[in-house]
Amino acid sequence: MSGEPIRIVIVDDHPVVRDGLRGMLAGDGGLAVVGEAANADEAVRTVTAFNPHVVLMDLRMPGGDGADATARIVAAHPGVRVLVLTTYDTETDVLRAVEAGASGYLLKDTLAAELRRAVRATAEGQTVLAPAVAARLVRQTRQAPVEALTARELEVLELVARGATNRDVGRALHVSEATVKSHLVHTYTKLGVSDRTAAVTTALERGLIRL
């Protein structure tokens, strides 16, 4: 991003939460909160007005939820990345958000330093999952029969193993970044891991992919 600050829009229907998030991000010259919104419609308008790099998105709001807002934002602004920040961590909520185009999923008990790292990772095109969310997906996987990776999931993982970003993978496979993110989250669940590095390492150890 050529040294410019990462522009952020905060979307949450509670003003005190927005103020708290702004405070958590303040003091870091590499991050700049450029706008706020309290619902889905306002979120879309604010993103259009300020063209942020990252949107911190609440999941459940009146007048349209965060997944709906995410889908609308990603469709209209493919270069904008959405990081969900919520109190809900069910598998249904996580997958629905990611399939809508979210780049990651954090819980509202995230520490300030972790939030700042997650925002930076999201801006760089990485998929970010809160440890508690990843653990829930891992437990879900361990309770169910092990499911094999699909051919497309293996293709995505091989490209990631070679250093490709989500955008690079999308271009190579002629699919959207949202589709790539969805494949990765399903892959994490199937392999019982929480991030792309662990997914690649596990797949290599099992002989699922080759470099």
Six-digit token string for 25: 């991000």
Q: What is the pTM of this model?
A: 0.68
The hierarchical CATH code for the domain 139-205 is: 1.10.10.10
* Mean pLDDT of all residues in 94-108: 86
6-130 maps to which CATH number?
Answer: 3.40.50.2300
How many other CB atoms are found less than 10 A from the CB of residue 109?
9
Q: Are 88 and 94 in contact (CB under 8 A)?
A: no
Higher-pLDDT residue of 133 and 8 is 8
pLDDT class of 140 with cuts at 50, 70, 90: low
pLDDT-derived band of residue 169, with 50, 70 and 90 as boundaries? Answer: very high
Average of per-residue pLDDT across 172-186: 92
State how far the alpha carbon of 88 is from the alpha carbons of 5, 92, 97, 174, in Å. Answer: 29, 10, 11, 32
123, 210, 195, 119: CA torsion to nearest 10: -10
Please, are residues 37 and 62 in contact by the beta-carbon 8 Å criterion?
no
CA–CA gap between residue 135 and residue 132 (Å, rounded): 5
- Backbone torsions φ then ψ of 128, nearest 5 degrees: -115, 130
Q: Domain map of the chain by residue range?
A: 6-130, 139-205
